Structure 1
Amino acid sequence: MGKNTQIKARNAGSEIHLSHSQVDTPLLDVKSLEHLQQFRPDIVDFVVEQTKKEAEHRRKQDSRMINYTFIERIGALLLGTLIGAGSITGAIYAAMQGFETLATAIATVGLGSLAVAFLRRDKK
């Protein structure tokens, strides 16, 4: 929400204290708007209008990111299904052609890589 920074220094009986606050909310607080109204009354409407535009833009970005995340996850599921089905199909075909060792290797590598990817996906 907000970031506060404070610095204090002392030297031979003298002391200095510096405080800085940074707020990252899209809307100014009421006290700041009242102060701005007293200082520049013409700009308060502009600030409110820009805040509305920024809120709309943030909602669009959130919606877009949710859609992209959904597409990414569905794509990963489909790709994993394709790799698993391909490795099983390849292993069955190789076994039917008489290459049992190759069939074992194809099934082990294909399904093993999916298992490793599944188990290590959260350890980034």
Structure 2
Amino acid sequence: MGAHTTAHVKEKDRSLTLSHHESDAPLLPMAQIERLKEILPEKVDWVFDQAADEGRFRRTETKRVNTLVGIERIGSMLVGLIIGCFALTLSAYLAMREHDWVAGVIGGITVVGLVSAFVIGQRRSPPEGRAVLSNRK
């Protein structure tokens, strides 16, 4: 939901009330919509249209971000596979050419690097239920 803060100041026969509502919801609270209907009834439909536009934008943006994250992850795995295959092929080639030390170092580093990248990468995955949010406030 959102945070709601209200401040009251009274001085003899005068008073001042300040109200602040913070929410990530695209729609105003009902009390404010009712007040808007009293002041400018033609703007209520506009507020609902804006809320619908904001909802469509959020859904589109979430879909776009999730698609790009998926492409990034699959691309990273493919690039890692290509680099690993290349390094292991190079290691095998060097071993056949009797460069055992170099082949062992390249092959060993490649295997250790790939295994550690996949193990550490799985440990650092975000917790379940965490949503992707935009930077807008």
TM-score band, normalised by shorter chain: 0.7 to 0.9
Higher helix share: 1
1:49 aligns with 2:42: no
Q: How does 1:13-32 map to 2 (within 5 A)?
A: 20-32=20-32
Deviation, 1:31, is 2.4
Question: Match for residue 66 of structure 2?
Answer: 66
**Aligned Cα RMSD in Å?**
2.3
Total equivalences in the alignment: 114
- CA distance in structure 1 between the partners assigned to 2:125 and 2:63 by the alignment: 27
State the secondary structure of the residue aligned to 2:22.
strand
Deviation, 1:19, is 7.3
State the secondary structure of the residue aligned to 1:110.
helix
State the secondary structure of the residue aligned to 1:3.
strand
CA contact (8 A) 1:87 1:111 kept: no
TM-score (norm 1): 0.80
- CA distance in structure 1 between the partners assigned to 2:97 and 2:56 by the alignment: 61
CA contact (8 A) 1:91 1:107 kept: yes
- Deviation string for 1:25-53 (max 9, x for gaps)? 10123222111101211211111111111
Q: Which amino acid aligns with 1:62?
A: T
Question: Match for residue 103 of structure 1?
Answer: 103
- CA distance in structure 2 between the partners assigned to 1:52 and 1:19 by the alignment: 25
Of the structure 1 ranges 67-76 and 111-120, higher mean CA displacement relative to structure 2 is found in 111-120
Deviation, 1:110, is 1.4
Deviation, 1:66, is 1.3
Q: Which amino acid aligns with 1:37?
A: K
Question: Match for residue 92 of structure 1?
Answer: 92
- CA distance in structure 2 between the partners assigned to 1:66 and 1:47 by the alignment: 28
Where does structure 2 lack aligned partners over 5 or more consecutive residues? 8-17, 127-137
State the secondary structure of the residue aligned to 2:55.
helix
TM-score (norm 2): 0.73
Deviation, 1:22, is 1.4
Deviation, 1:6, is 8.0
